[in-house]
Chains A and B, each alone.
Chain A
Amino acid sequence: MALGYLLKEGISGFRRAKLSMFAAIFTISISLLLLSFFTILLINANSVIEGLRNRVELEVFLGDYLSKSDTDTLQTKIVGLIGVEDVRYVSKDEAARIFQEEFGEDINKVLDFNPLPASFKVRLKDGYRTTAGAESVYVATKEMKGVEEVAYRKSLLEMLDTRAQTFLWLALGIGSFVAISAIFLVANTIRLAIYAKRKIIQTMKLIGATRTFIRIPFLLEGLVQGFIGGAIAAGVIYLAFEYLEQFVSMQLSDLVAVDREAYGIIIGVGCLLGILGSILSIRRFIGEKVVEQ
């Protein structure tokens, strides 16, 4: 096929219909900014939740009567439990030191002796940092001989399990809604531009152009519009992160993280939006029944 023509035609759409091109690019940029906003929110909310989960650990308090070898055996047993990532031993002395750091008082001086038990700090594997995962380790360790008490922040985990999950689904739902709206918004803008050309499309068909031949320049146009729209959205986000920090005292990037690749993804999604918008819009006019019955 006439590749040169198709390329030229795809680009010259810009020259011929400046207004609708700006409308399409603007729509794509706005849609992408909305999408990016939600994605960033989602990713960061998720990482906050994961951070909270990572911090959850079980404290297994040991009886004072355990010997060194009893302690070692116990540690080996706990490490062997399903869902356990690692086990750190905290001796009585270390517990006292932590107490002093936290409360500013030397427990030995207050009470003349150290009442704090030695303990194991048990961290859970990824995927077991849930109420169910923690509970099974809780039950298993609690039964072990030499273990006096097991504690963990059950309520926090339960809250994360239920509310965080709801929040994530909600955000995902809204995000998908925004994404789909973006596609239709872009399609609609492009459709208006193509609608203006429907007579031209009919004429082209009468002169012997295939659907593909007519479609390719529109898709190219959509691709270029999507690329520009994506670049603008990426630029706006970049500027927001680079320069907003100078005016606001806090570091924006400490709160939310945007990777380098994210800008590439935004531009890529822009191209996709442009092409998808064109495909959806042109289908209407190109498939229009030419042949009257």
Chain B
Amino acid sequence: MAIIDLQNVTVSFDNQHVLHSVNFAMKSGEFVYLVGQTGAGKSSLLRLIYVDLQPHEGRVSVAGFDAHRIKSREIPKLRRKLGVVFQDFKLLPDRDVYENVAFALYVTSTPRSEIKKKVLMALGDVGLSHKRNQMPHELSGGEQQRVVIARALVNSPSLLLADEPTGNLDPASSAEIIELLRTINVRGTAVLMATHNYELVRRYPARIVQLKDGKLLEVELRERK
């Protein structure tokens, strides 16, 4: 079953097409790289999926919701099925690491006892258990990145969207992050990862789609060399 299905989706800003009649489908449990240069529209495409943006034309279906005509009170329900690693992190600056991760569970009806267990597990997965009482601004960029990932996966989403999750990291940390995402994927979560780190894509092969001039193309790894 398709967890994401975009049909003839067009998005434009200031009369400039960013996405032009784009079609894209992704199956449950799949791992897909979304590549393209800066400004190609990767973040915009992800925002369509977590309904932070509405298409000017076309249909967007996500996890069984018709995102292009969803009612505003349904939007939280859709978002709770996703985990999103935002390009700009969007950590809550007024609370510590533990509370940041726990927030994704507070918004659902998770029992208290389970929240603690799940948060500590997620923080363990990203190797940050020992920093759980630090404030976001006390962490390095890479550590903040990992907190965002922990928050995105703590509610066991069926789909994880990662917007350049290795953008701020050195190669070694990048490899760790991507291995973490692969592990999450193996456990059954579909992962859509926007990146322009082709080196990483070559080392951890998977399906690749590329945004170029407003169009979305399937890319074979061999073609790119």
The answer to whether B52 and A210 touch across the interface, beta carbons within 8 angstroms, is: no
Interface string of A172-209 (1 = CB under 8 A from B): 00000000000000000000000001001001111111
**Is B84 interfacial (CB 8 A cutoff)?**
yes
A40 to B53, CA, bound (A): 54
**Is B17 interfacial (CB 8 A cutoff)?**
no
Structural contact, B109 and A291, CB atoms closer than 8 A = no
Q: Say whether B94 faces chain A, with CB atoms less than 8 Å apart.
A: yes
Q: Contact between B109 and A2 (Cβ–Cβ < 8 Å)?
A: yes
How many A residues, CB 8 Å from partner? Answer: 20
Q: Is A293 positioned at the interface, with any CB of B under 8 Å from its CB?
A: yes
Q: Are B151 and A292 in contact (CB under 8 A)?
A: no
Q: How many residues in B have their beta carbons less than 8 Å from beta carbons of A? A: 32
Note all chain A residues with C-beta closer than 8 A to B53: 291-292
CA distance A1 to B80 in the complex (A): 14
A4 within 8 A of B: yes
Complex formed: what's the CA distance from A205 to B102 in Å?
15
Q: Is B112 a contact partner of A208 (Cβ separation < 8 A)?
A: no
- A291 partner residues in chain B, CB cutoff 8 A: 51-54, 72, 75
Min C-beta distance of B78 to chain A, whole Å: 8
Q: Determine which of B72, B79, B92, B93 lies in contact with A208 in the assembled complex, contact meaning CB atoms within 8 Å.
A: B79
A206 contacts across to B, CB distance below 8 A:
50, 52, 79, 84, 86, 90
Query: B107 near A293 (CB under 8 angstroms)?
Result: no
Indicate if the CB atoms of A209 and B52 lie closer than 8 Å. Answer: no
Which residue in chain A gives the minimum CB-CB distance to B80? A208
Give a binary string over B74-92; 1 marks a CB under 8 Å from any A CB, 0 the rest. Answer: 0111011010101000111
CA distance A204 to B102 in the complex (A): 12
B103 interface residue, CB < 8 Å from A? Answer: yes
Partner of A203, one of B73, B77, B80, B90: B90
Within 8 Å of chain A (Cβ to Cβ): is B27? no
**Within the complex, which residue of A4, A5, A207 is in contact with B151, where a contact is CB–CB below 8 Å?**
A207
Task: Judge whether A213 is part of the interface by a CB distance below 8 angstroms.
Answer: yes
Chain A residues with CB under 8 A of B75? 205, 291
Contacts of A208 in B (CB 8 A): 76-77, 79-80, 82, 104, 107-108
Decide if B56 is an interface residue (CB 8 Å cutoff). yes
Contacts of B50 in A (CB 8 A): 206
Q: Does the CB pair A209–B107 fall under 8 Å?
A: yes
Contact B54 A210 (CB under 8 A): no
Chain A residues contacting B109 (CB-CB under 8 Å) are 1-2
B107 touches which of A4, A200, A210, A290 (Cβ 8 Å): A210
- Given A206-B79, A292-B54, A200 and B92 contact (CB-CB distance below 8 Å): yes
A197 CA / B152 CA spacing, docked (Å): 22
The complex places the Cα of A213 from the Cα of B77 at a distance, in Å, of 13
A16 with B79: CB separation less than 8 A: no
Check B103–A204 contact: CB distance below 8 A: yes
Find chain A residues with CB under 8 A from B84 CB: 206-207
Given contacts A200-B92, A209-B76, contact A5 B52 (CB under 8 A): no
Instruction: State the CA gap A201–B53 with chains docked (Å).
Output: 17
Task: Specify which chain B residues have a CB less than 8 angstroms from the CB of A210 in the assembled complex.
Answer: 73, 76, 107
In angstroms, how far is the closest chain B Cβ from the Cβ of A226? 22
Chain A residues, Cβ within 8 Å of B72: 291
List the B residue with the shortest CB-CB distance to A5: B106
- On whether the beta carbons of A290 and B52 are closer than 8 Å, the reply is yes
Q: A197–B92 Cα gap in the complex (Å)?
A: 10
Complex interface: chain A residues within 8 A of B94 (CB): 16, 197, 200
Task: Report the Cα distance A2→B72, complex, angstroms.
Answer: 21
Which one of B72, B91, B94, B106 has the highest number of Cβ atoms from chain A below 10 Å of its Cβ?
B106
> Residues on A close to B: CB < 8 A?
1-2, 4-5, 16, 197, 200, 203-210, 213, 290-293
Interface residues of B (CB under 8 A from A): 50-54, 56, 72-73, 75-77, 79-80, 82, 84, 86, 90-94, 102-110, 112, 151
Knowing that A208-B80, A213-B107 touch, tell me 18 more A-B residue pairs with CB under 8 angstroms.
A2-B105, A4-B112, A203-B90, A204-B92, A204-B107, A206-B52, A207-B103, A208-B82, A208-B104, A209-B76, A209-B107, A210-B73, A213-B106, A290-B52, A291-B52, A291-B72, A292-B52, A293-B54
